[in-house]
Structure 1
């Protein structure tokens, strides 16, 4: 509404009341020589709160969200968002879409394996085995996802079975991404998984003894650190020729025993969950 005020000797004038961002509208008298009290009255007349303030604010929110979406579309997906979609594909076992996030020359290094996987074919074979081993109820749950405003992303995660965290399944992954046409792909990955063996202070003692040997024999230490695969092959040959005939049967029995224990534990857990669901669910 516009307020009209007549002064003697002057034609009628109209005060314009523009809408304020905060939901209030103000009108100011443009006349010269008007008293301060008359200006205050003018402000009181024009001061009003729009009836549709809630809908007005809602329209502003929708406008800002729409502008933010357009801005994201122009910039393209961020590395952190891409990694989240990557893990979603793993949980949903969508290997076809997962293939699009792996570069042709990808190097995937998992510390649980002796050698890194190189190339899309080896990496996808790993994820085929991983998704098959996860079954229908195991999911990878992301705890923290952070990037460096560039192409490197760090992730902390753990495994859950039907929303129940599985012990000793925490891990951290680091991804180096690259731009391929209109999308981001994983160029290099490093995965570190929690060890079920907790040696504690033994690791510190072992580290102190190993570093003492390195300091006493620096040349041998330098050769060992530069050629670890030679020592690995040498130890494997000794194991195959001397220890394998005795250790392998024991190891196979140990694995069968743990498989039996795991099945019994799963059966007991399912029984307890079924009982709780039936009586308290």
Structure 2
């Protein structure tokens, strides 16, 4: 076809439909440019190995404290143990006093000839005390030491319905130790104001006793 014929054909208002030859159809059918797109490659299920960096806590993070509710309660001070001791006696609540006394505690009340040894014996003594007196009679602490965790000194007096009771001043000493996680009294001594006040007669009596000991030294062995 000449160039003139080609131009006439393209510029014709009614171009004839294009009919490819058989060999053109063959090329269109088998040409790789007209085939369906190849299937996508299979997705790999193998993941790359992950590398974990060591964790470095920030300086702003605060450690979390662990609370064990099965542990023993925190220790109270020796002063509070002694205060609770007097409070339980004032209320006649010996059940609250018992845990404050060690099993092998020794309690010396200088009014008696012999000390009370052991928790049971001490509680029996205070049981008799609470049976004899009313709750209207109360121990009142005048001063108490607070510096030592194993020894406490106390000065006290008795009051009846808020008024001082006669001949009731005293001072006490308590020694404490921690037993099974609980601070307890292991030794106590009470010195109570005497009802009879000999005054200077006490000095005369002491001088007479010392003279006898100097005169008869063997008497000292019986003290």
Q: Which whole-Å deviations, capped at 9, do the CAs of 1:120-148 have from their partners, x for residues lacking one? A: 11100011111222213111101011145
Distance 2:216 2:147 in 1: 40
- 1:174 counterpart residue number: 173
Distance 1:179 1:144 in 2: 24
Rg (Cα) greater in structure: 2
2:221 to 220, 223, 227: 223
- Structure 1 outlier segments of 4+, above 6 Å: none
Q: When the two structures are superposed, what TM-score results if normalisation uses the length of structure 2?
A: 0.65
Alignment of 1:44-83 (within 5 A): 76-83=75-82
Structure 1 unaligned blocks of 5 or more:
1-73, 226-281
Distance 2:146 2:135 in 1: 30
Q: Is contact 2:107-2:117 (8 Å) kept? A: yes
Higher relative contact order (CA 8 A, sep 6+): 2
Measured on the aligned residues, the alpha-carbon RMSD in Å equals 1.5
Q: Is contact 2:88-2:96 (8 Å) kept? A: yes
Distance 1:161 1:205 in 2: 35
Q: Normalized per residue, which structure has more helix?
A: 1
Distance 2:206 2:213 in 1: 10
- 2:184 counterpart residue number: 185
Q: Is contact 2:139-2:159 (8 Å) kept? A: yes
- 2:88 counterpart residue number: 89
Q: Does 1:152 align with 2:151?
A: yes
- 1:197 counterpart residue number: 196
Aligned residues: 151
Q: CA offset at residue 150 of structure 1?
A: 3.3
Q: Is contact 2:92-2:135 (8 Å) kept? A: no
Distance 2:146 2:128 in 1: 28
- 2:7 counterpart residue number: none
Q: Does 1:115 align with 2:114?
A: yes
Q: CA offset at residue 75 of structure 1?
A: 6.8
- 1:125 counterpart residue number: 124
Structure 2 unaligned blocks of 5 or more:
1-72
Q: When the two structures are superposed, what TM-score results if normalisation uses the length of structure 1?
A: 0.52
Q: CA offset at residue 90 of structure 1?
A: 0.8
Distance 1:148 1:215 in 2: 42
